[in-house]
Structure 1
Amino acid sequence: MNFQDGQRRSGIAGLFRVVLLSLAALCGAQNACAEDIEPLLAYGARIAGDDARTRVVIDFDKKPVFSIHYVANPVRIIIDLPETAFGLKPEDLEARGLFNDIRYGGMGAGSSRIVLTASKPVGVALAEVKADESGKGFRLVVDAEFVTQDRFSKLLEKQKWTTVATTTKTGRLAEAATSDGSFVIAVDAGHGGIDTGAIGVVTKTEEKKVTLAFAEEMAAALNKEAGVKAFLTRSKDEFLSLSQRVQLARQNGANLFISIHADTLKQKDIRGATVYTISDKASDHLAANLAERENLSDQIAGVALETEPADVADILIDLTRRETQAFSVNLARSVVSSFEGQIKLINNPHRYAGFQVLRAPDVPSVLLELGFLSNKEDEKLLLDPKWRSKVSERLVDAVRHYRNGALANGG
């Protein structure tokens, strides 16, 4: 080795030692800083909601920076946090609503995680940090909603995992279907899955099959109208809770919600179509009894009724906004008017009661009883494709008149 080679290698070795010393000093400084940083303290939490919407609230002593991700099989919402000490009681985050399991703890390397596991597809509608009322702490609020499998798959596809938790707020969930200015109609086939609904007196046909067949035909007829976009809350034989049906309508930006049914009555001679709107007080005993039976759908499938704690009850919006009710009544009247002289109607065809499936606070909603499977004549018509087609045409006419009236009034 000549002198120049030796000098060059000596210089490189010296530079290497300088780099190592610099890195060591930097690491030492970072470790010292890390030791000085106290972990977050999560000192309180609460959860409220049902199987359509659930809110999780966690109290921190300092402002948390967080990120949210989705994982499938099973469906999970992952909330990543900086190192956090969880001073929570077991009952503070006891799984309920959309979630059947909730876990939290350290992940090592100065990070912690909360894992919310759901039995059905979910999406985060809102996630944000707010200062609490005392001004001394901060509150992480996460609102989750039931979504379709297709929507959840899209959430999985577009997310970007990152090791740096910088997300502070997410946007409201909204389907792309509402972005083109269409008049959107949610067509809800009543019952489904384990909840068969009523049974035909002659053919023993299940109500869930009658409602789905009609809903498919009705949606197809509506979609032929210019500027109208109809979709089904369920397109197969599956159970959806009453809350989930309402949630799907709101997520898709529905301008109308029409729930299709074909019930049974003890009085076999009663027949004809009926249109119902929501009200705290029922119009009559028949409406009250029907609403009570329809509201049992969730219990048939084992969906527990939840009572919300007062401090987070704002997740469930007021069910009886006057403006929406007025629009619902207008829609019901339009349906009755379109049916008159064309489709057999029950006496006093517009009735009202406390139907839970009509509770969307911002979507005019009606429940249409096509007829009664307890009546032989009605049952025969309900299974007749030509009759279903005629009813669909009348409903399209009713929606057309309702929409024109709403547009004329600036709605």
Structure 2
Amino acid sequence: MIFNKTVSKALLLFCLLISYVFGGSYAFSAVPEVTAARIGEHKGRTRFVLEMSKKVDFSIFTLADPNRIVIDIAEVEWKIGPGGADGDGFIARYRYGLFKQGTSRIVLDLKSPVKVDKSFFLPPTKSKPYRFVIDLRKISQKEFAGTIRKPRQMTAATRPPQPVVESTRSGRTKKLIVLDPGHGGHDPGNLGKNGSSAYPEKTVALTAARTIKQELERTGRYEVILTRDRDIYVKHRARSHVAHAHQADLFISVHCDSIADSRVRGATVYTLSEKASDREAAALAARENKSDIIAGMDLEAEPDEVQGILIELLQRETMNLSSSFATELVGQLRQSTLLRTRPHRTANLLVLKGLDVPSVLLELGYLTNSNDARLLMQKETQQKIGRSIVSAVDRYFQKNFASN
């Protein structure tokens, strides 16, 4: 017993020593983590900093129309929240996410043309992990144009052995569904009759999404992720990134509608189309899209003609699958809730522009109708809708992927 305790203590001390030598608790993370991002201004230059658990390989290149700095790094886990944030100095905003398996990408949208003055890693200290630093200095647009080039091979930081990351989708035993409760935080979404905030869309969408999640998970057949699980605002780009990052099999954005005529009620299912199916669908797209910029795949590294082919092929297949699910969803919702006339409509909705994930936007009903608003906040109504969604999801996967 004494010998075992002595060995255990020795092993513990050895682990602590190794941890200290190689950067504290950061040394044992299999996949590098980004734990903080910040921007500062120093003597005429803008500095962008990522705090990371490990050094990683990186590559930097520039793009124009609009001006951007693009940083590709080895695949990381983002611990700083979804999507991106507003910038400072020469940086208007920055965005980040998984670009492709093995590579994460950070895009710096620029206020003015700049050059990369320096890019380097700072070693960890007692209070800080590794820091990736990029310094930007202002230049003319002509000079900036001369820096534009295609992505290059990543610069080796230390060339550690890269972990093999297995595809999330291929390793799953359950289908993964992403539920996206619309709006949130400072954005209440649609309001009730005469602008009443008794039932703001953000609240109804979140409570309904939680109930739908419970109904799907109760079957034991599905894994479900929410794009938000509390009252926070999530940008469109970040919502679709959740589906991309987890290689989702289906994306359902949950919303509530509004209209000047308070007599109108009923649910509607929307799928993506560049051309709206009617004037009301176009108005819906305008309302939903104005809160954020375009979301979707980042194909900037590909030539224009390749981009067009990839987008067309991905979009065609995804839109067909989205339409297939919408048909099943409308059929099952008829059994649990009132539907609009022509309940399957199309609109150019940014949140559905995930391209490689079959997606629908479900308008549960109209908050401007007192009956819809009252029913949609009832648990029983949400459970009925949830069970209809389960049936629609079951039928969709059986119809399209029965052999998988």
TM over 0.5: yes
- Code of the residue aligned with 2:338 in structure 1: it is K
Task: Report deviation, 1:166.
Answer: 1.2
Counterpart selection for 2:281 from 287, 309, 330? 287
Alignment of 1:54-73 (within 5 A): 55-56=70-71
Q: Which residue number corresponds to residue 140 of structure 1?
A: 153
Alignment of 1:165-244 (within 5 A): 165-167=158-160, 179-201=171-193, 204-244=198-238
Task: Report deviation, 1:96.
Answer: 3.8
Counterpart selection for 1:115 from 121, 133, 142? 133
Alignment of 1:5-404 (within 5 A): 45-46=61-62, 55-56=70-71, 96-98=94-96, 104-105=118-119, 115=133, 139-140=152-153, 165-167=158-160, 179-201=171-193, 204-298=198-292, 318=311, 321-404=315-398
> Which digits, 9 at most, give the CA deviation of each residue in 1:42-94, with x for residues without a partner?
998315899xxx9436xxxxxxxx9888898899xxxxxxxxxxxxxx98x98
Query: Quick check: 2:178–2:225 contact (8 Å CA) kept in 1?
Result: yes
Task: Report deviation, 1:182.
Answer: 0.9
In structure 1, C-alpha distance between the alignment counterparts of 2:263 and 2:133, rounded to whole Å? 55
In structure 1, C-alpha distance between the alignment counterparts of 2:401 and 2:132, rounded to whole Å? 46
Q: Residue 48 and residue 243 in structure 1: after superposition, are their counterparts in 2 closer, same or farther (change >3 A)?
A: farther
Q: State the secondary structure of the residue aligned to 2:366.
A: coil
In structure 2, C-alpha distance between the alignment counterparts of 1:378 and 1:108, rounded to whole Å? 57
- Code of the residue aligned with 1:346 in structure 2: it is R
Query: Quick check: 2:253–2:361 contact (8 Å CA) kept in 1?
Result: yes
Q: Residue 115 and residue 323 in structure 1: after superposition, are their counterparts in 2 closer, same or farther (change >3 A)?
A: same
Q: Residue 44 and residue 178 in structure 1: after superposition, are their counterparts in 2 closer, same or farther (change >3 A)?
A: closer
Q: Which residue number corresponds to residue 123 of structure 1?
A: none
Task: Report deviation, 1:378.
Answer: 0.8
- Code of the residue aligned with 2:71 in structure 1: it is V
In structure 2, C-alpha distance between the alignment counterparts of 1:336 and 1:308, rounded to whole Å? 33
Q: Residue 228 and residue 141 in structure 1: after superposition, are their counterparts in 2 closer, same or farther (change >3 A)?
A: same
Query: Quick check: 1:212–1:236 contact (8 Å CA) kept in 2?
Result: yes
Query: Quick check: 1:258–1:366 contact (8 Å CA) kept in 2?
Result: yes
> Which digits, 9 at most, give the CA deviation of each residue in 1:381-401, with x for residues without a partner?
111111111111111111111
Task: Report deviation, 1:266.
Answer: 1.4
Q: State the secondary structure of the residue aligned to 2:209.
A: helix
CA-atom RMSD in angstroms? 4.4
Q: Unmatched 5+ residue regions in structure 2?
A: 1-57, 83-88, 97-105, 110-115, 124-130, 136-148
Query: Quick check: 1:262–1:372 contact (8 Å CA) kept in 2?
Result: yes
Task: Report deviation, 1:180.
Answer: 2.7
* Larger mean Cα displacement after TM superposition, 195-204 or 180-189: 195-204
In structure 1, C-alpha distance between the alignment counterparts of 2:250 and 2:280, rounded to whole Å? 25
Query: Quick check: 1:178–1:184 contact (8 Å CA) kept in 2?
Result: no
Q: Report which of the two structures shows the higher radius of gyration computed on alpha carbons.
A: 1
Task: Report deviation, 1:165.
Answer: 1.3
Task: Report deviation, 1:224.
Answer: 1.3
- Code of the residue aligned with 2:61 in structure 1: it is A
Q: State the secondary structure of the residue aligned to 1:217.
A: helix
> Which digits, 9 at most, give the CA deviation of each residue in 1:243-301, with x for residues without a partner?
111110121121110000002111221110000000111110111110111111227xx
Task: Report deviation, 1:363.
Answer: 1.0
Count of residue pairs brought into register by the alignment:
298
Q: Residue 219 and residue 309 in structure 1: after superposition, are their counterparts in 2 closer, same or farther (change >3 A)?
A: closer
Q: Residue 363 and residue 179 in structure 1: after superposition, are their counterparts in 2 closer, same or farther (change >3 A)?
A: same
* Larger mean Cα displacement after TM superposition, 313-322 or 390-399: 313-322
Q: State the secondary structure of the residue aligned to 2:382.
A: helix
Query: Quick check: 2:227–2:242 contact (8 Å CA) kept in 1?
Result: yes
User: If the length of structure 2 is used for normalisation, what is the TM-score?
Assistant: 0.62
Q: Residue 186 and residue 284 in structure 1: after superposition, are their counterparts in 2 closer, same or farther (change >3 A)?
A: same
Query: Quick check: 1:193–1:237 contact (8 Å CA) kept in 2?
Result: yes
Query: Quick check: 1:49–1:96 contact (8 Å CA) kept in 2?
Result: no
Query: Quick check: 1:48–1:308 contact (8 Å CA) kept in 2?
Result: no
User: If the length of structure 1 is used for normalisation, what is the TM-score?
Assistant: 0.61
Q: Which residue number corresponds to residue 12 of structure 2?
A: none
In structure 1, C-alpha distance between the alignment counterparts of 2:121 and 2:334, rounded to whole Å? 66
The percent of aligned pairs where both chains have the same amino acid is 30
Query: Quick check: 1:233–1:248 contact (8 Å CA) kept in 2?
Result: yes
In structure 2, C-alpha distance between the alignment counterparts of 1:403 and 1:43, rounded to whole Å? 40
- Code of the residue aligned with 1:139 in structure 2: it is R
Q: Residue 376 and residue 55 in structure 1: after superposition, are their counterparts in 2 closer, same or farther (change >3 A)?
A: same
Task: Report deviation, 1:106.
Answer: 6.1
In structure 2, C-alpha distance between the alignment counterparts of 1:267 and 1:277, rounded to whole Å? 24
